Structure 1
Amino acid sequence: MTVKDIFQSMDYGTAPENAAEALAWIVDQGGKFGHFIDGSFTAAREGFDSKNPANGNILATISQATQADVDLAVSAARKAQPKWAALGGHGRARVLYAIARLLQKHSRLFAVLETLDNGKPIRESRDIDIPLAQRHFYYHAGMAQLMDSELPDREALGVCGQIVPWNFPLLMLSWKIAPALAMGNTVVLKPAEYTSLTALLFADICKQAGVPDGVVNIVTGDGTVGEMIVAADVDKIAFTGSTAVGKQIRKATAGSGKALTLELGGKSPYIVFDDADLDSAVEGLVDAIWFNQGQVCCAGSRLLVQEPIAETFYAKLKVRMDKLRIGSPLDKSIDVGAIVDQSQLDTIIRMVAENTAGTMHRSSAALPEHGLFYPPTLITGLHPADTLMQEEIFGPVLCATTFRTPAEAVEVANNTRYGLAATVWSENINLALDIAPKLAAGVVWINGTNMFDAAAGFGGVRESGVGREGGWEGLSAYTKAKGQTKPLKPIAAFEGN
């Protein structure tokens, strides 16, 4: 019997992660959370329930911020900012390093809490989200030490309002808070109403790390709280979320002088040429569209396959889809977890139900009886102009069409209002490198997908966003030109022959 035969003979067994520590932390906080303002938590007030999407259980009660709460948070941030900036890059780095080390120390607690609150598989929280969050704080701690030498004519913007989404709660928080603090800014951040718990745990970490009072402020609530932050006396708005809300923010901040970074929606093409390694492309596609249940702004949700291999590729993909495991997100063996909220699940169901084009294949994997689950879905034979090929679904639904030539692949790939990411699969590197710069996308991956690093700028073009997060570009977005430059040292006159 070969190794392959042995693996194929094995039955699937669950491997549940223990959630006791995360649930105990919630209980220790009283099961109700206020806001984190000026270095301490406020008393919990009327708000809304945070639920586990995998079973509907209520995890905690989250307070709904008022205008007074937002004003208090902004005031605390404004008061703390000059002293935080004056601490210098090396002083701020010590605090950022402390945050990074505490994220590592409590990584399991963060991972389990993220999975409970969001519904994503524990493997993704444990192996991707939390390590990348740590990486951002380590990276930006190092960059804080380089600010004086590498950005001598730049200084902090001041107070930054930050609004993060529910699909990567802690990771998106890290994308925003780490560079802001590194450059000497203070922040007022609002997590998504569905997924506030890891942000509140992060606030607890800030206290342990010695973050000065007022430097990090976290207010919770629905979209109206985000509107309050946008309208508040802040110097920058950083938002990750839908294109529709991004447009509203851009209109609201027009003429205000506020700096703006927007990371918005996408409908990213996943292009497979006939010379591609098809098995590798299938595995890459599983990661591109079913990672985090497709609830990813740069998900490869538009599959473009070259005609000669289309049927072969679809057949391989369907076999792989039917092997995907769907179940409790705390099970370390599952591939696909729960949709974050009933409203998002309803949107996915509605968009697929309204589509009348193409041929649909759904994974044969059994769905749990309870919870917000949706099967991995493939719809082939679509026209590039069909609604599902144009609009972001933000769910585990892959829409596919074919192309004949490289030129047609570029034309179809660019035929949307978005431009966040793209993927090209080909064994001909010259072809891939020729195609990549022709694609309207902020990032292009070749023979791979979802490759991120704190040192690499990420962002979109067209209606997928404004600005970059990560790398030098992301750091510069949290600075402004100094009003005064350092005085020049006098140079003695030349007295030579």
Structure 2
Amino acid sequence: MSTLSVYAPFDQSLIKEIPLATSKEMSNAIDRALGLFLDQSKWLPKYKRVEILENIAFLMEERSEEIIQISAMEGGKPWMDTEVEMKRAINGVKLAIENMGHLKGEEVAMGHTVSSANRLAYTMREPIGVVASVSAFNHPINLIIHQTIPAIAVGSPVIIKPAPTTPLTCLLLVEIFESAGLPEGWCTAMPCDNDVAEQLVTSPKVNFFSFIGSAKVGWYLRSKLAPGTRCALEHGGSAPVIIEPDAEIKSMIPALVKGGFYHAGQVCVSVQRIFVHESIVDEVVEEMDTQVRALISGNPLKKETEVGPLILPREVDRVHEWVAEAKEAGAKVICGGQKISNTFYEPTILLNPSDDCKVSTQEIFGPVVCVYSYTDRQEAINKANALEFAFQSSIFTKNIDVALDTVRKLNATAVMVNDHTAFRVDWMPFGGRDASGLGLGSIPHSMHDMTREKLMVIKSEVL
């Protein structure tokens, strides 16, 4: 039997070894999920799903310290941020319950042509079928909730493959689901290697594919889907921020620092490229420098830690290579720019890296923020829109006309005004456009995607 060793990103100590699902086990899991879906006598009525979800929220609250501990240990996100993620995840379950009452059809008008006379028509929403979810490491609690709970809420069986670096949180959550009364087979966690995971994704028995991860992998897997399988893909970005001369610097800097260095920058909407008007660039850089140097890096299990490790040592090496390339090409290192250890990288600010180096053209996914000086706002907008990624962005200004004009011109799914790019609540539309993904991943959007519409037309002479 093949096993997966799960290591703590903080010190690379072994946390646990778990078995990896085999190809046969994956086939059995898919067949079991399909069998539950095809046999409507086994479907869970809505009131039962509500009861189960309420129990899940209660048990997650009751066992929150345990979940936070495991998640922070295997994922490396600091305790203070994992605690916030835990609260979001519990709220996500409650959101699913709330939105179960909003998934409904509507009357389709009939009778206004001779051919449609004597008819009454209504739409209704049904579960889409088997859902396959492939998850990422950076939010081990909340992403699992987003990729399983909507399916459970609408009555679609779901199989989830957790990230190989953070499978323990997923296994614990599925255990909690079953303790809450969810029958076996309705949500199955399948840690597995890439070949077995691809078997899940390509199966013609899967009706919906949910993916969170890199664009390279996401688009590849989408190309392998069976005909008819719907999907939602959430990839990364390189979140741009535009700062006008009238921006409120005192309140802005803490937001940018949090948005840039939260979870060591390993977030798909982390602040990465900050375009600052030349008249205030020195002041902005100086204030950011002061606050970034004060960040506390260390053990994610300590409640005072603000910046944890990167998920793997090779990611530390990669980030350092990108920073070194930018420095060699003329970027000024304001702070950071060095490895702290093989698992930690210094929170780093780069000033005016070249437009063609990796930190300017690709998603850094590390604790590095780039600041660029600009003269004309349209120039900053053009640079912000120059990459293939388009996820979340922001504009800082007190001028409502400037804000609205910038919102209109930025290529992004969401534009924050006077807030950092990583803002999110779980009921708002959230997802990338262009290379950054396909579809929207809020709890309500996911529930809608995991159902499909059916039309009923009744013909009667009395109508």
TM-score normalised to structure 1 length: 0.85
2:333 pairs with one of 360, 369, 379 = 360
Shift of 1:486: 5.8
* 1:266-305 equivalence runs, <5 A: 266-305=237-276
Aligned residue type for 2:49? R
Corresponding residue for residue 12 of structure 2: 56
Aligned residue type for 1:118? G
Shift of 1:471: 5.0
CA distance in 2, matches of 1:160, 1:188: 6
Aligned residue type for 1:66? T
Corresponding residue for residue 108 of structure 1: 65
**Structure 2 residue 95 is matched with structure 1 residue 123:** no
Corresponding residue for residue 242 of structure 1: 214
Mean Cα deviation higher: 318-327 or 443-452: 443-452
* 1:486-497 equivalence runs, <5 A: 487=458, 491=462
Corresponding residue for residue 251 of structure 1: 223
Gaps in structure 2 of 5+ consecutive residues: 107-121
Cα displacement string for residues 393-413 of structure 1 (whole angstroms, at most 9, x for unaligned residues): 210011221222222221111
Going from structure 1 to structure 2, the CA distance change for 1:85 and 1:93 (only over 3 Å counts) comes to: farther
Corresponding residue for residue 455 of structure 1: 427
* 1:67-216 equivalence runs, <5 A: 67-81=23-37, 82-83=39-40, 86-126=43-83, 128-148=84-104, 152-216=123-187
CA distance in 2, matches of 1:486, 1:209: 38
Tell me, what secondary structure is at the counterpart of 2:345? coil
Aligned residue type for 1:119? G
CA distance in 2, matches of 1:149, 1:91: 21
Going from structure 1 to structure 2, the CA distance change for 1:488 and 1:183 (only over 3 Å counts) comes to: farther
CA distance in 2, matches of 1:489, 1:422: 54
Shift of 1:473: 2.9
CA distance in 2, matches of 1:252, 1:366: 39
Q: Is the 8 A contact 1:85 1:184 kept in 2?
A: no
Aligned identity (percent) is: 27
Q: Is the 8 A contact 1:383 1:401 kept in 2?
A: no
Going from structure 1 to structure 2, the CA distance change for 1:363 and 1:351 (only over 3 Å counts) comes to: closer
Going from structure 1 to structure 2, the CA distance change for 1:179 and 1:85 (only over 3 Å counts) comes to: farther
**Structure 2 residue 307 is matched with structure 1 residue 336:** yes
Higher RCO, 1 vs 2 (CA within 8 Å, ≥6 residues apart): 2
Going from structure 1 to structure 2, the CA distance change for 1:64 and 1:87 (only over 3 Å counts) comes to: closer
TM-score normalised to structure 2 length: 0.91
- Please provide the CA RMSD for this pair: 2.1
Gaps in structure 1 of 5+ consecutive residues: 1-44, 493-497
Corresponding residue for residue 200 of structure 2: 229
Q: Is the 8 A contact 2:339 2:345 kept in 1?
A: no
Going from structure 1 to structure 2, the CA distance change for 1:61 and 1:304 (only over 3 Å counts) comes to: same
Going from structure 1 to structure 2, the CA distance change for 1:471 and 1:207 (only over 3 Å counts) comes to: closer
CA distance in 1, matches of 2:174, 2:457: 36
Shift of 1:85: 7.9
Going from structure 1 to structure 2, the CA distance change for 1:143 and 1:441 (only over 3 Å counts) comes to: same
CA distance in 1, matches of 2:458, 2:93: 33
Corresponding residue for residue 37 of structure 1: none
Aligned residue type for 1:153? M
Q: Is the 8 A contact 2:123 2:453 kept in 1?
A: no
Corresponding residue for residue 449 of structure 2: 477
Tell me, what secondary structure is at the counterpart of 2:387? coil
Tell me, what secondary structure is at the counterpart of 1:169? coil
Cα displacement string for residues 134-155 of structure 1 (whole angstroms, at most 9, x for unaligned residues): 1111100121233346795221
Aligned residue type for 1:408? E
Q: Is the 8 A contact 2:316 2:339 kept in 1?
A: no
Shift of 1:430: 2.8
CA distance in 1, matches of 2:389, 2:367: 19
CA distance in 2, matches of 1:425, 1:490: 63
Going from structure 1 to structure 2, the CA distance change for 1:311 and 1:84 (only over 3 Å counts) comes to: farther
Tell me, what secondary structure is at the counterpart of 1:270? strand
CA distance in 2, matches of 1:84, 1:454: 33
CA distance in 1, matches of 2:389, 2:357: 15
Shift of 1:227: 1.4
Cα displacement string for residues 273-295 of structure 1 (whole angstroms, at most 9, x for unaligned residues): 11111122211111111001000
Q: Is the 8 A contact 2:92 2:443 kept in 1?
A: no
Shift of 1:259: 0.2
Aligned residue type for 1:79? G
* Moved segments of 4+, more than 6 Å: none
Going from structure 1 to structure 2, the CA distance change for 1:104 and 1:237 (only over 3 Å counts) comes to: same
